[in-house]
Structure 1
Amino acid sequence: MKKLLLAALVICFAGQLKAQDVTGSWVGAISVSGVKLHLVFNIKKTSDTSYSSTFDSPDQKAFGIACSSTFVKKDSLFIGIAIIKGGYKGVLAGKDSISGTFSQGIAKLPLSLKKITGAEKANLSAEKIRPQTPRPPYGYHSEEVEYDNADKSQHYGATFTRPDGEGKFPAVIIISGSGTQDRNGTMMGHQPYWVLADYLTKNGIAVLRVDDRGAGKSSLGKDINQKTSLDFSYDVEASLNYLETRPEIDKKQLGLIGHSEGGMIAPMVAARRKDVAFIVLWGGPGVSGAQILTEQSARALKEQGIDSTSVAAYKKLHFSILSLFATSATQADLDQQIPPVFEAWKKDQTQKTLDALNVPKASMADVLKTYDGTYNSGWLRFFISYDPVIALSKVKCPVLAVTGGKDTQVDAAENLGRIKEILTKSGNKDFEVKTIAGLNHLFQTANTGDVAEYEQITETMSPVAMNIICSWIKLHVK
């Protein structure tokens, strides 16, 4: 699931203020793929005519993200957040409430804010109690570390854990899923990467878990809005290089565990580096991003009650247009290719299907705007166009690919089937693909597997899944 936030430190500017006082903290909530996320805007007065704002997402443990602009005109509030290509626009309704819209990229969501006290804000930030979250004493060595990439352009913060005692230990790097995440994979009170690292370290395997760019102690770097999974794969290489400087580590037994998008990145690194001894793909993709996003969109339509015929028609159109991304060098190229595809598809549909999908209300300009916004995101354009076969077919080290049977984000049968096909054709002699029944994309024991269920589940990560991963690694590092 694509997360909302990237961290930055920039100064906010404000226009002329001739309205009621807006200083203080304001909270509201948006729904993203069925998940409720609280957003907090903290507004301070910096002079008689200027203001600065910071932005928090406490459910994601993201705080103090500086805004790029803050402007108040009469009863209207405008906050720009350049780092997410969005912001907030609202109208003040009394001294304690604001009604408006939150935007990120092409997405626009209704967001009403209310003013809160410092105590209420602190309560939002309080850590939820999850029984699997590790508590000291850990029973192993845990160390906060920091390091840079080769040209010093990127700084990383991480936690290194290893078993107590002497020896050369096998080690893994956990590669996060899509979006900006801290080293623990913090989401809705769960910290799955920490829980997995704790389990592995207690079973004799050292772990390095790393803050993504812009999270924790890792720097944001340049041009973050255009960075892709390929760029992030070189971040993993920097972490691999650091791990090899540790005297406690067996350099011949270094592996990667990639979750979700990380399951696409791990093969990229393993295809380039002979020092990667094994990789684990945790809910990783085997098909293109175009296919994954099409399936996710289709599922959302089904949940809205759209009939199966119309959903199937939408899937055909959406996948056809997303597939054009790979052959479009520019947005103008894409805009030339979309209209004939759309019009040909439209002629083949019944009026019932067109009405169900609201096609009569959409102009060609609306269609182009939707896909242009997606195309202009460097990360999304790469993800949509990338086929995992590119790297997976070059991976010769052992591979474990595991996916939850109730994963609604990366379908187990479709993706594991393709991974198996790729590795078989490429001649990899040591791989295993496995569906773990009853688990969702985070490897929680789930009822439906829906994203909305993640927060409701007490379990952070199934012990069954952790045992499968750990046992497979130990078998390959003997």
Structure 2
Amino acid sequence: MKQLYREERLMLEAEGYRLPAVLALPQGGEVKWRIVLLPGSMANDVDGNYPGTPMKPHLYADLARQLAEKGHAVLRYAKYGAGTGAEIVDEQRVGAHPLFARQRYIAEAAIRKLREMVPRAKGLAVAGHSEGSVHGMMVAQQAELGVDAFISLSGPALRYMDLFIHKAQEMAKEQGEIIDFGAFKVNATHYIRAFELMRAGKPFTEDIKADPTMEFFVKSWDNDTPQAREGQQYMRDYDAVDPCIEITKVPCPVLVVQGGMDESGVHADNGERLYQARHAIYPATTQLAFFSDLQHFYKPVSPGTTWQEAQVMDGETDKRVGEAISVWLDGLKEERES
């Protein structure tokens, strides 16, 4: 049943950052579940938009409000970057952990903050979107955090660099040696090889450096600046995690939510891969919610829409996603109370 909701704005302080955050709450009545939304890989504002890009999906705001209308309390927060409203307040603290791992510590702080703000609820769930799914499944493994349910939202099933390698291989089958990502074109062989070399911690070969289609990547990745070193470390740390292994270690019930038109680099079959990996071990507590017509941010996609066009769609997040999550959580609540 749909309820009225309200939102409380706050600042979440964690890992040396001050991050804009919003708590969406049902208006009146008891809270069913407390839910923390973990953001994906890019710098996003508190609603889930990406400043400086044409991507304004507002997924996190939409989903939080959908769930609050169904009686759940949802905490969402921005991820540091230009235009997000987030700021650094302690440089030393920011540098205490590598860039990739830092997001898990921020997620832990968000969980503690939600418990403080909403002390009474039926349970606590973590919902991670895209890269946030990887952090979420790692956080959910920590018994001391008391996570009662984990939701993977468009999460990857492949290791980080394999996402790019796999996508390039698939595109090369259709387009040939030069593949077109829309914003840029690259030599597929050199592009794939570059990721393999980064995984191994080796410098780019001379033929990659001499390839004009790889100029941007060489300048961005193959240099000794602090920014490049941090970026390389981030990619290697992310790549070291195999989501299909980690999701089998999550002790609480798991819901995998996937759109069939997801071509963002996290391919549509990633949901099935994650589901099958965990279902093989925990069939009774693993569920898949698959929506054949939805993209990475759960917007409906019409036939013939390119993946570049799908990425910048800004319509409302499909209400079926919030409904599926709420129904699943309500079912868990009933099991916990019986």
TM-score norm. by structure 2 comes to 0.77
**One of 213, 225, 235 as aligned partner of 2:80:** 213
**Partner in structure 1 of residue 175 of structure 2:** 306
| Bigger mean CA deviation after superposition, 185-194 or 200-209 | 185-194
Displacement, 1:178? Answer: 1.3
Displacement, 1:327? Answer: 4.0
**Partner in structure 1 of residue 45 of structure 2:** 182
**Partner in structure 2 of residue 388 of structure 1:** 243
**Aligned partners of 1:139, 1:434: CA distance in 2, in Å?**
26
Question: Where does structure 1 lack aligned partners over 5 or more consecutive residues?
Answer: 1-137, 329-333, 344-358
1:463–1:167 distance in 2 versus 1, CA, 3 Å = closer
1:383–1:451 distance in 2 versus 1, CA, 3 Å = farther
Question: Which has the larger share of helix?
Answer: 2
**Aligned partners of 2:290, 2:112: CA distance in 1, in Å?**
32
Deviations 1:132-162 (A, max 9, x none): xxxxxx922321123434xx73333311121
**Aligned partners of 1:213, 1:232: CA distance in 2, in Å?**
10
Work out the percentage of aligned pairs sharing the same amino acid. 21
1:403 aligns to what SS in structure 2? strand
**One of 195, 206, 222 as aligned partner of 1:372:** 222
**Aligned partners of 1:440, 1:432: CA distance in 2, in Å?**
19
Displacement, 1:174? Answer: 1.0
Is the radius of gyration larger for structure 1 or structure 2?
Answer: 1
1:146 aligns to what SS in structure 2? strand
1:289–1:147 distance in 2 versus 1, CA, 3 Å = closer
**One of 95, 100, 107 as aligned partner of 1:236:** 107
2:59 is aligned with 1:202 = no
**Partner in structure 1 of residue 292 of structure 2:** 437
Question: Which has the larger share of strand?
Answer: 1
1:186–1:476 distance in 2 versus 1, CA, 3 Å = same
Contact 1:395/1:428 (<8 A) preserved: no
**Partner in structure 2 of residue 275 of structure 1:** 146
**Mapping of residues 131-142 of structure 1, within 5 Å:** 139-142=4-7
**One of 325, 332, 338 as aligned partner of 1:476:** 332
Contact 2:58/2:314 (<8 A) preserved: no
**Partner in structure 1 of residue 211 of structure 2:** 362
Displacement, 1:193? Answer: 1.1
**Aligned partners of 2:128, 2:138: CA distance in 1, in Å?**
11
**Aligned partners of 1:387, 1:319: CA distance in 2, in Å?**
19
Aligned pairs, number: 307
1:375–1:299 distance in 2 versus 1, CA, 3 Å = farther
Contact 1:407/1:441 (<8 A) preserved: yes
Displacement, 1:444? Answer: 0.4
**One of 156, 163, 166 as aligned partner of 1:285:** 156
Displacement, 1:395? Answer: 0.5
2:91 aligns to what SS in structure 1? coil
TM-score norm. by structure 1 comes to 0.56
**Aligned partners of 2:327, 2:238: CA distance in 1, in Å?**
31
